[in-house]
Amino acid sequence: MKKRLFAVILLSLFLEGTAFASAYRIPEQSADATAKAGAHTAAAVKADSTYYNPANMAWAADAWQGEIDLTYLHLTAIEYRDARSSRFDGDSDKENFLLPTLFIVSPDYNGFRFGFSITEPYGLAKCWEDPFPKTFAEEFELKVIEFNPTAAYRFNDYISIAGGVRFLYNDASVKSSGVVTPTGLTATRDLEGDTTEWGYNLALSVRPNSNSNIAVTYRSNVDLDFEGDAVLGTNLFQTTVKTDAEVTVPAPAVLTIAGAYTFDKLTVELQWDRTFWSEYETLDFNYDTPLMNPVLAAFDQPIPKDWDDTDAFRIGLTYQMTNVVALMAGFAYDENPAPDDTLGFELPDSDAWLYSLGARFTLNPNMEIGVGFLYDYKEGRTVTNEDIDGTFDDAAAFLLTTGFTYTF
């Protein structure tokens, strides 16, 4: 067990934070989506429909529509309390991010509509400063920016289909250091890498009548093949290795089925998401330079992940209070993909409960502003595996999104 723990710590030091950062899918990319806890697939008919359900562009107003959003995302400090000794306890740093997004939808061209979005669907930074957690995940950062042109075709008043191309730019920076053996051997790493990858998305919308809509969307799996420069070091023989490095982690496929119905002024949307995290089976890193030092050689050992596919259940409400003001609310339950056996400090994730509120204001026939607030509460989780024996608590996220929509 000690030999395996030694290898896991070293691999975690080098890259695992980056890999786990991609596991943070961020469904809330617009003010309406934040206000409705991500339940925004069947009822989206404004500019952000190009991302959430491009088939719904067929039902949008016959004009150019643009939307700009900005999300403030705050992650609370996570508390870890170890069952073996308080020397292993720790608290992660608080994190703050600003996520801008852009959406554009065209007018109708003989039944065709075209759209374009820029979003940040994955990304995270996580820091631990206490000695034991720091050894696994001192600091890492990942940013994923997605450019997504889409096109929709409206067969008639009842059926529309759509598809798009996903272009993902991914940038990662990872730093860590720690004592990895009782004899005082240390391991450090400094990594910067990036990659650009392609995928696709598909959508179908069916409107049995003017008050209802049924939607199915699919976003393909995209393997993120990171390439970067790595500097590895250890105090055993005072060894430093500079090398090119490669690793592949998935941005998993997502299937969404949703339905919306409008009762006079109230629209209710029910949504189910299936995220195919089972694509993430192992973390296996490849180096151009052989790692001859026995401490650094442990970096070559793959780590099993064995993540599970997850389900999320969402409900969104929109109440058109007046011609000027629409109120929104949402609730969701979102499962986490990491089993106890492979959970680590890089992503001490747990099942989440989401609560949200928001509003949209019509300033004039061409301009609207929206605001959404979401609280993401993660359940406490007690884990016993070969590396961890303790409880994670106090994990949560707060999102505040503002958006501006213009029709021309």
325 phi and psi angles, rounded to 5 deg: -120, 130
Count of Cβ atoms closer than 10 Å to residue 321 Cβ: 11
Confidence of residue 289 (pLDDT cuts 50, 70, 90): confident
Residue 50 lies in domain: 2-407
The β-bridge partners of 406 are 66, 367
Report yes or no: 303 and 272 within 8 Å, Cβ to Cβ: no
Query: What average pLDDT is seen over the chain?
Result: 88
Question: Residue 65: CA atoms inside 13 Å, Cβ hemisphere, count?
Answer: 29
- Among 73-87, 265-279, 339-353, which is the least confidently predicted range? 339-353
2 against 197, higher pLDDT = 197
- Collapsing DSSP to helix, strand or coil, 186 comes out as strand
In tens, the pLDDT along 125-138 reads 678 888 888 777 77
Confidence of residue 20 (pLDDT cuts 50, 70, 90): very low
Q: Does the pTM exceed 0.85?
A: yes
- Among 38-47, 155-164, 301-310, 365-374, which is the least confidently predicted range? 301-310
Q: How far is CA 3 from CA 10, 89, 293, 305, 340, in A?
A: 11, 23, 15, 18, 20
- Domain total for the chain? 1
Supply the pLDDT for residue 18.
34
Residue 96 CB contacts under 8 Å (≥ 6 apart), including other chains: 72, 73, 74, 75
Among the listed residues 94, 6, 15, 68, the one whose alpha carbon sits nearest the alpha carbon of residue 284: 15
Given a cut of 60, whether residue 21 has pLDDT beyond it is no
308: domain CATH number is 2.40.160.60
Supply the pLDDT for residue 241.
87
Q: How far is CA 194 from CA 90, 98, 168, 197, 346, in A?
A: 30, 20, 10, 10, 19
C-alpha of 219 from chain center:
13
Confidence of residue 150 (pLDDT cuts 50, 70, 90): very high
Confidence of residue 280 (pLDDT cuts 50, 70, 90): confident
Question: Residue 340: CA atoms inside 13 Å, Cβ hemisphere, count?
Answer: 10
Among the listed residues 176, 97, 172, 94, the one whose alpha carbon sits nearest the alpha carbon of residue 133: 176
Q: How far is CA 251 from CA 84, 86, 198, 366, 375, in A?
A: 35, 36, 11, 36, 24
Q: Which of 14-23, 94-103, 301-310, 360-369 has the highest mean pLDDT?
A: 360-369
Supply the pLDDT for residue 302.
82
Given a cut of 90, whether residue 320 has pLDDT beyond it is yes
Residue 110 CB contacts under 8 Å (≥ 6 apart), including other chains: none
Given a cut of 90, whether residue 34 has pLDDT beyond it is yes
Supply the pLDDT for residue 11.
43
In tens, the pLDDT along 215-268 reads 999 999 999 888 888 888 888 888 888 888 888 888 899 999 999 999 999 999
C-alpha of 274 from chain center:
14
Average the pLDDT over 146-158 and give the result: 97
In tens, the pLDDT along 365-404 reads 999 999 999 999 999 999 999 889 999 999 999 999 999 9
Report yes or no: 406 and 61 within 8 Å, Cβ to Cβ: no
Biggest CA pair distance of the chain: 75
Supply the pLDDT for residue 379.
93
C-alpha of 354 from chain center:
15
Q: How far is CA 36 from CA 212, 225, 267, in A?
A: 18, 33, 11
Give exposure, 59-85, as e/b (b: 16+ Cβ within 10 Å).
Answer: bbeeeebbbbbebebebbebbbebeee
